[in-house]
Amino acid sequence: METREDILEIMREDLKRALQKTRTERRWGMAIDLRRCIGCHACTTGCMSENLTPPGMHYRPVREEEIGRFPNVSLRFLPRPCMQCDSPTCTPVCPVKATYKRDDGIVMIDYRKCIGCRYCLVACPYGARSADVGHYYTGEMKKQTYEVENSGEYGKVFRRKTHWHSPIGNARKCHFCIHRVEKGELTRCTATCLGHATYFGDLNDQKSLINKVIAKANTFRYREELGTEPRVIYIV
């Protein structure tokens, strides 16, 4: 039986292998084992501290879903990151190409370009995008350093206090912690998952743990019928 640390170490090795390839050769994906999710919200809080998201904005909320019909009903935890769709509905609608799909499959947002029209929020079928309207945990007058410092998202500098490059007014969403991944670190949600329900890796690498896990399990992709080809695969 592999321990949690073993699993994380295997995925880190997978990452190293993937990063040796060119960007076009790798295909980042995530698998979430819903049987293992304990609803602890560690991924949500980990993500919030990693990306310094403002109040009410969760890149990876853990939703509670009722499944079955009465009297055979049960509650299931459903973590919902951005699905990084291969055929996203959010990118074509952006009038200024502020959101786009990178060669390795990550749907990016250029905070310097986004005009805050929120058309992508309307178009996303997963409700995975949020508008940063400028809330602070401690109020406008007493805002703390952590609320305005650079989160390092997308590997760039976007401080919330400097107006020009500030993400305030923009659309924001999960980006598979691409700033961490490119440094060989796992996404924060994967690293913090207590039930080791989250797997991350290169879907093009047949030796990767994520591919092995998916191959053995019953899987589904959320609202697949829309043709969005999500890269988040749920294991049930």
Partner 1 sequence: MRFDGIVLPDRARLREAVDDIRKGRGGISLYLSLLGLLAGFLAIGCIFLLGHAHTTNTSDLVPWGIQITTYVYFVLISTGCTFVNFFGAIFYEEEYSPYASRVMFLAIVTALAAFISLATEMGRIDRMYYFLISPNPASPMFWMSVWYAADIFIIVLEYINIRRSRHSRKVMWAAFFVAVVTYGTLGSLFGAVGSRAYYYSALLPIYFLFMAFLTGGALCALVAAVEGRKTLGDGSPLPAFFTTFLKIGLGLALFAIFWRLMIGLTGHVPGSEAFGLTLFDTLFFGIFLGVVVPFLLLLATRGPVGLIFTGLLILATQFKGRMDLVVGGFRVPVFRAYDIPEVVRYTPSVFEALVVVASVSLVAFVYLVCDRSGLFEPVPGKEG
Which residues are at the interface with partner 1 (CB under 8 A)? Answer: 56-57, 63-66, 75, 78, 80, 89, 92-98, 112-119, 121-135, 140, 168-171, 226
Q: Which is nearer to partner 1, 4 or 63 (CB)?
A: 63
User: In which element (H, E) is residue 191 found?
Assistant: helix 188-192
Q: Which is nearer to partner 1, 92 or 213 (CB)?
A: 92
Angle of helix 209-216 relative to helix 4-19, nearest 10 degrees? 120
Cβ at position 92, least distance to partner 1 in Å: 4
Q: Can you read off the two tokens belonging to residue 90?
A: 């959010």
Q: Which is nearer to partner 1, 19 or 116 (CB)?
A: 116
Cβ at position 44, least distance to partner 1 in Å: 12
Cβ at position 155, least distance to partner 1 in Å: 20
Q: How far is CA 201 from the centre of its chain?
A: 13
Q: Where are any strands of DSSP class E within the chain?
A: 28-33, 62-69, 72-79, 99-101, 107-109, 130-131, 171-172, 198-202, 219-220, 232-235
Cβ at position 8, least distance to partner 1 in Å: 28
Q: Which is nearer to partner 1, 102 or 118 (CB)?
A: 118
CA–CA gap between residue 181 and residue 17 (Å, rounded): 12
Q: Which is nearer to partner 1, 52 or 57 (CB)?
A: 57
Q: How far is CA 104 from the centre of its chain?
A: 14
Cβ at position 73, least distance to partner 1 in Å: 11
Q: Can you read off the two tokens belonging to residue 153?
A: 């998202």
